[in-house]
Structure formats: C-alpha cells, structure tokens
Amino acid sequence: MLRTFDIIMIAAMLVAATVTYTIKYDAEKQIAVIAKLKRQIDSEKDTITLLRADWALMNQPGRLQSLVGVYEKELNLQPIEAEQLLLGVNEIPERPVDDIQKIISGSDELLASGVLEKDAITTGSVKNSGTRH
C-alpha cells in the first residue's frame, strides 16, 4: 500500500513536471518572439540601406541639373549669384555676451571693492604673495 509520503512525492513530481513544462513552453515562445524581432530588424536595416541608395540616386548633380532644365519655367528658377551667399562684414551680428563673460569681467571690480575675499589656500607649486592676480 502507498504511504502518505509516497503520495506527497508523486504529487510533488507532478507539480514539478507541470512547472518545468510551462517554463519550457514560455521560453520557446520567447525565443520565437526574439527570432521574429531579429527578422524585423534585418528587414528595417535592408530598407534603410535601400532608401539611402535611393536618396543618393535622387541627389546626383546630373539628375538635379536635368530637372532644373525641365521645371525652370514652372518654378521660376534662377542661378544663384555669389553676392546672395555672402554677407557684408557690417551685416554679421555681434556675438552676444554670455553669462560667464559677465561674471569674468565683473570679478575684478568685485575684488577691488572688497566683496570677494582673497584665497587663503596655499598650494605647493604657487608661492603665497598675499595678492591675487
């Protein structure tokens, strides 16, 4: 006759077999999903390569020049003059002063007015002269 221990062991083995089967089935399902994603990535890479080649073909200077000749009247295209690309020296805006420039330029006045203290830290490579440069 089966003892209680034998029944518990049989039940534990059935539970372990069920859990193992479930884990294996889920792992195989995930492997299939990963393989599908890899195929999609490869397909997207191929599409990107094809689109880059198509873009290079569409932007060939000879092709663009022939399109200019065909659509010149409809688009009212005119050659670009060199003066259109270059700005005069007076037309270039001045570079705005940034916050760091303001701080740097104002630090001398703050030192002179005594708002900022002199550094009390002495390093081995710099002799303490008592003044800050």
For the chain, first and last CA: distance in Å?
A: 100
**In this predicted model, what pLDDT tens digit does every residue of 16-71 receive, in sequence order?**
999 999 999 999 999 999 999 999 999 999 999 999 999 999 999 999 889 988 88
Residue 8 has pLDDT above 90, yes or no: yes
- Global pTM reads 0.46
pLDDT of the residue at 16: 97
Residue 100 has pLDDT above 80, yes or no: no
Residue type, 112: A
Longest dimension (CA), the chain: 107
Angle at 46 between CA 42 and CA 52, to 5 degrees: 145
